[in-house]
């Protein structure tokens, strides 16, 4: 009797959690609008197996085969607030909203790489991998926001894997991560094909699982070239079982450096994910260095800088305080060699002067 009650209570909590996510996180679609001379244009490149005719939800749809490549010019409004994506309420307006200013579809990965090298002659590139419950529109606008708030000048590539873009699609998305490994590795291979080419990997949530699985696959297949050309990895709020992460890291061997994990102990989205996957805290919720000890991984805890935005699931790039601190730490790392300890719990009063 008690087992039945407990089971029903568990199911109720699960459905309430998913219901909250569904109610509070509606997806909108990126749209074009007339340009505004005061707006800032952020150029991003996109590699995706998604159909370019659909930028919204794909829950329940058959996964397409093959990759698509394009460039998107995202217009950032002059009234942009750090950490925010200003979605239009109704009609998009470049003076107040994120809008698409232009796009160009590329004929294959080689065409995209030629355009990347033409537009950005440098060898370093940033690859962003979005998380669970993301549409193509979500990923494009988020990367544009990250580019502008962190003043990134290197070329940025969004790898938009086949997330369903629907809160009901958690299991679908976990399968899609595994489905996307080969495409992701092929893209990394192309981005690092020329002498001196390097990529920095930035992944969020379930996208972290894709990055780890791809690096593990490269290591197991003996592809040391890709691993040696990764200039660093940041996993933000990683939705990975800590035991699985250790297994992945040990299979990879020497992890690319620096290798950073950004956590927030008040991450409500990961709390729900932990409940769904067995009541075990996810990697993005760890509260100490024990789970990653011996792996040459640095953990930075952003809990004190959380502002409640988006279930505290993306604090390092949505909290203005966190962005200010992280930018300062990055600058210090460039000047002094390293600004990140093995395990750091950040506080508001630590924000460096800009």
DSSP state of 305: G
What would the pLDDT profile of 128-160 be if each residue is shown by its tens digit?
A: 999 999 999 999 999 999 999 999 999 999 999
Q: How far apart (Å, rounded) are the C-alpha atoms in residues 183 and 233?
A: 19
Say which residues have a Cβ less than 8 Å from residue 156's Cβ, sequence separation at least 6: 44, 45, 125, 126, 127, 128, 143, 146, 147
Share of the chain above pLDDT 90, in %: 72
Contact between 308 and 269 (Cβ < 8 Å): no
User: Given this model, what pLDDT does residue 354 score?
Assistant: 45
User: Given this model, what pLDDT does residue 222 score?
Assistant: 93
Tally of structural domains, the chain: 1
- Give the residue numbers spanning the domain of 17: 2-350
User: Given this model, what pLDDT does residue 312 score?
Assistant: 95
Contact between 34 and 26 (Cβ < 8 Å): no
Task: Tell me the CATH number at 108.
Answer: 3.40.50.1820
Kind and range of the H or E run holding 242: helix 242-252
The answer to whether residue 314 scores a pLDDT higher than 80 is yes
The answer to whether residue 110 scores a pLDDT higher than 60 is yes
Question: Per-residue pLDDT averaged across 251-269, rounded?
Answer: 96
What would the pLDDT profile of 192-243 be if each residue is shown by its tens digit?
A: 988 899 999 999 999 999 999 999 999 999 998 899 999 999 999 999 999 9
Q: How far apart (Å, rounded) are the C-alpha atoms in residues 353 and 325?
A: 9
């Amino acid at each position: 009797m008690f087992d039945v009650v407990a089971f029903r209570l568990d199911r109720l909590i699960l459905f309430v959690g998913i219901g909250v996510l569904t109610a509070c996180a509606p997806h909108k679609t990126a749209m074009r609008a007339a340009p505004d001379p005061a707006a800032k244009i952020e150029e991003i490149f996109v590699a995706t197996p998604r159909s370019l005719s659909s930028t919204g939800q794909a829950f329940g749809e058959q996964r397409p085969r093959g990759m698509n490549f394009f460039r998107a010019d995202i217009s950032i409004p002059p009234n942009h607030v750090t950490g925010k994506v200003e979605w239009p309420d109704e009609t998009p307006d470049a003076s107040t909203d994120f809008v698409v200013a232009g796009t160009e579809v590329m004929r294959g990965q080689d065409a995209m790489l030629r355009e990347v090298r033409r537009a950005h002659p440098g060898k370093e590139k940033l690859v962003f991998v979005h998380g669970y419950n993301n549409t193509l529109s979500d990923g494009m606008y988020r990367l544009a926001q990250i580019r502008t708030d962190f003043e990134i000048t290197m070329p940025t590539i969004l790898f938009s894997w086949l997330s369903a873009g629907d809160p009901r699609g958690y299991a679908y998305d976990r399968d899609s991560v595994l489905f996307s490994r080969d495409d992701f590795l092929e893209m990394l291979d192309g981005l690092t094909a020329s002498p001196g080419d390097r990529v920095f990997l930035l992944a969020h949530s379930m996208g972290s699982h894709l990055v780890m699985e791809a690096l593990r696959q490269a290591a197991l297949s003996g592809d040391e070239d890709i691993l040696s050309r990764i200039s660093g990895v940041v996993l933000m709020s990683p939705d990975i079982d800590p035991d699985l992460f250790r297994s992945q890291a040990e299979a990879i061997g020497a992890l690319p450096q620096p290798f950073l994990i950004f956590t927030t102990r008040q991450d409500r989205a990961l709390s729900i994910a932990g409940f769904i996957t067995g009541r075990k805290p996810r990697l993005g919720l760890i509260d100490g260095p024990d789970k990653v000890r011996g792996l040459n991984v640095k953990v930075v805890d952003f809990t004190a800088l959380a502002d409640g935005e988006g279930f505290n699931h993306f604090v390092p790039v949505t909290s203005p305080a966190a962005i200010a601190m992280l930018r300062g730490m990055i600058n210090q790392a460039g000047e002094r060699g390293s600004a990140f300890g093995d395990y750091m719990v950040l506080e508001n009063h630590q924000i460096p002067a800009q």
